[in-house]
Chains A and B, each alone.
Chain A
């Protein structure tokens, strides 16, 4: 058997490039099949550029029927399939290998329908996240989830990863804003999942199961989204503190007061300084910076703003600024969204994490990160969705220094283990992919992983959908279990790092 449903182990027979090229040519136009090294190069990685591998074939179907035919062909010949959106993911979720065919969905780029009265949009998976809100804007509507890559990331990828963004504290994740999808399963069948233009569908919540399944359970070919009214007014307050603890306390106090901000973001000193030297946003010198966005009607915002400002003062904020117009608000946010490139400008190599913890654990986890950072001798910048308890520590290292990358990965692993021990998760919105697969062994027991494998095995009998990603084989966890006992010394270095 090429795929063991109980353990997730797989061993595919391999294929002959020329033969497959010829066979696919029967139902895919030649121009949509890429096989030359120069054509394949852009597909060797996603946003996680430290992990690169060349595939042998990339196919760009244009119709659902073509997708179905590809799946049927691959199922018949036991060829693994990696569905790819815009490639902006940062966990190597679409990292290819020479055994798989990459199915790029970028040609599925049409917004098929916007129904303003029913407040839904029907879109193809390759449509960019931001393009949906732009198309809905004339109707006074928007699509709420806004990952920081929204200008480029595709909505199909958002569903596959269950992406978040700065506004999910109030408006939810992708899973809360999608009402239905159409998928092609591993047998090439087209299945409708969820209510689509209805608010409910009978049976299990398969729509939730598909969200964040990282291409392991089916290929998404159509998505129905919920649109919400654009709030009539939005205002951001920026506050700075002499300590992260004061900033963190403000976050808890705002939530306790009964206000749910549209966004609640924090940055530490390293990030504030990096952002300031990168784009001169006018951020004050401080040890912690908090951005709190309120939206809704003018009257409510005014009242809530008074409460928030009082909380910030009570928590020793020494400079509080409120955006007076959209331009100023944009500037505050642009600076926040530039945190990653800003840090990259001081240190080009960094390793980005995505842990979540209960809000109350934030101060303690931040202290722990500071201790570990000193211990490893690597600087860590902290930017986070404080309202959600979603941390994005950025570990800076230098690839030119021997062993520095490995040190960064080890430090990251320790930070994420700490998040898990505090009742959190090692990934809040980026996903597992190829990169964080080892952490799955820490967060889940063998029993739970086995259950994941059983789900996969039922929906993908031959195991051809994105194998080796998101859910680790049990054997791998067993080996890693041994690793943790032996103080971080990695045994069995020959084990494939998917």
Chain B
């Protein structure tokens, strides 16, 4: 039964004036949130669109010059924009599959008859409650050349380790790896809870049919967990696209501009190059990309599973 049906059956033959009273109360109860929401979310969203059509003057906004879609056109030939888009996609490709598969593995492992399940769950989840600065600062030290433990131990084995965060090849993977440690816990908890709500009798039935564990995984676990997996993929996609803190703190976008991501570029355009209009246009385009990717992913999953 829908909310609507329940409400109308509840109200039965109440008078029209009741409805008016509920309208007023409804508005009063909604007002505080709607005011915040409109002022600090909707209004900026619209104003951003407006600003993106201007050569915005941050000091004297009224002197801003209307330039139509030039800010959008500029992106086409802006090498730094394409570079940051490429870097962001690379980061997404590195992290999303890795985090999803890794946290699925952890969830399935912890779901088994394992001693100390509560402790394991707490350990795997814990990095997620750290702020990005703490996570980044710790890993700067772990990756450090000269005294960092990772390189010290690698040198012992005779490998000549790279300067992780200064290397063209390794800087982004190093950030991706640190990110996996940092945020996998969120996906892990969701996948674990989804796995635990798969009814056991399905597995017992499959066992009676002689299905091995691989088939049980493929035919029961995956389909039963698909909503949770879908959610985890989407949320990681959205997060990865918005990566800012890790490269901002760990590499400043270097070496070269290898780890300058979209949001970092937007930040630099706004507060370093002082081009608010272009930055607002960038924000809009990034949102567009994000929406398209989310929907594409949605249809992809639909197609596979239903």
B partners with A: no
Query: Which residues of A come within 8 Å of B, CB atoms?
Result: none
B: which residues have CB within 8 A of A?
none
